[in-house]
Structure 1
């Protein structure tokens, strides 16, 4: 099942990884200049190291012979298909920039960005996410998890009854060749990380299609709808099959939906 929703200001915690950059049309020369000017060391002293090896994924398009086999083609991403999953896309302006896989009572949002040729940006991005959440009164733990270094966050949210609460979220990320893939795990997979094995495998088995065109570092890699997706008109409600995640981040709120039967 595909769901499509507009991005809202309430989701800014999870969007901190993208910063305030706007999508721009650059030339090859401009891209080289942007990459040469990339920050090599963050204010706290964290060095942007070259991307680490990815023996278990996520994969670059050049590393997979049949990317569409067992995966949903979203243009900039090939997302693994799993029985019983629901797949929703997120829109920024006129562009689709993220996909969320909902599986029972957990979810992982996938979003890919352009990155410098010789530097990984995940270390710097973690600092930005952590800073944004702590400034809002949240709590951040940086730990080494199954996918490498990640952030486990307690994000302040307002519950449906108006009282305050916290939402547990995991931010995971991997640097690839000229791209960066970020995942945001919510629901039970964030509350009990040991229960998120299937979501982590979906993240690992995702294929990123960066393309050969020039892009400024941190520009989002735009996605597209699958050719066989069907739009469900706004306002048409379907029977809930998974848990609802309440709170400011609003990642799994229902909107107009595009459905695919698996």
Structure 2
């Protein structure tokens, strides 16, 4: 599923380390997008949350959620929420011979096209060619609406970074800047261990991360309301 949440997903809210909870992070818009970066270009940890293969910039009001596979306890992604927009980021291994974003884009388009009445297409964005997908969904009042997402990708040295942008940044062009900038500041640390192409690079939680609340799974596995961003704070999502 590209949109919605598995019926077995459980939500566990967590707090970030105290040093990352204050207002010392950069304001969105402090700089123009110029990344994402390889760790060789941004080796310093200052101003970043270290998630292993992925380093997330400390940005004022940015909320972080870690997606955890319940059966293995493996972190499989990081979802970042800023204002009314969200970004799910995942880093994968890529071959030495070249990037994989072109073929992955084609697979995304094919997958969305298979959904009845969906709309999908490619367009140029701040990170090159991206995919804009719209899938029919019910609004909170029951009226017909759309689930909208932008799929962005960047090929790096032996890694590939994928972002799935939702909320207002997916369908309001004038709202995309702050979350695009967060994506542009991400740093990928592939490491030297061998990984087959497309394998998810290992993610680890930051120090002092602790659970503070557990919510019930979404009843019936219903997707979130169309074109509505997440309302939870930093959290871990467990996926079976």
Q: Same fold (TM over 0.5)?
A: yes
Query: Aligned residue pairs: how many?
Result: 199
Greater RCO, 1 or 2 (C-alpha within 8 Å, sep 6+): 2
Change (3 A) 1:256 1:85: closer
1:101 to 55, 80, 100: 80
Aligned partner of 1:87 among 56, 59, 64:
64
- Provide the residue aligned with 2:150 in structure 1: 170
- Asked whether the 8 Å contact 1:13–1:249 carries over to 2, the reply is no
- The answer to whether 1:111 aligns with 2:90 is yes
Aligned to 2:101: 122
Q: 1:251 to 1:115 in 2, by over 3 A?
A: farther
Alignment deviations for residues 167-213 of structure 1 (CA, whole Å, 9 cap, x no partner):
11110000001110001111110111332111111111111011101
1:16-95 pair list within 5 angstroms: 56-66=34-44, 68-92=45-69, 93=71, 94-95=73-74
Whole-Å separation in 2 of the counterparts to 1:217 and 1:251:
32
CA distance in 2, matches of 1:82, 1:255: 14
User: RMSD of aligned C-alpha atoms?
Assistant: 2.7
Alignment correspondent of 1:208 = 188
Structure 1 residue 57: Cα displacement: 1.6
> Does the CA-based 8 Å contact 1:160-1:246 persist in structure 2?
no
Please, which runs of 5 or more residues in structure 2 have no aligned partner? 5-32, 217-222
Question: Is the aligned partner of 1:220 residue 2:209?
Answer: no
Which residue in 2 is equivalent to 1:131? Answer: 110
Distance 1:184 1:193 in 2: 15
Gaps of at least 5 residues in structure 1 are 1-11, 16-54, 237-244
Q: Deviation digits for residues 14-63 of structure 1, max 9, x if unmatched? A: 69xxxxxxxxxxxxxxxxxxxxxxxxxxxxxxxxxxxxxxx922111122
Q: Secondary structure at the match of 1:157?
A: strand
- Provide the C-alpha distance between the structure 1 equivalents of 2:234 and 2:35, rounded to a whole number of angstroms: 32
When normalised by structure 2's length, the TM-score is 0.75
**TM-score, with normalisation over the residues of structure 1?**
0.69
Whichever structure has more helix as a proportion of its residues is 1
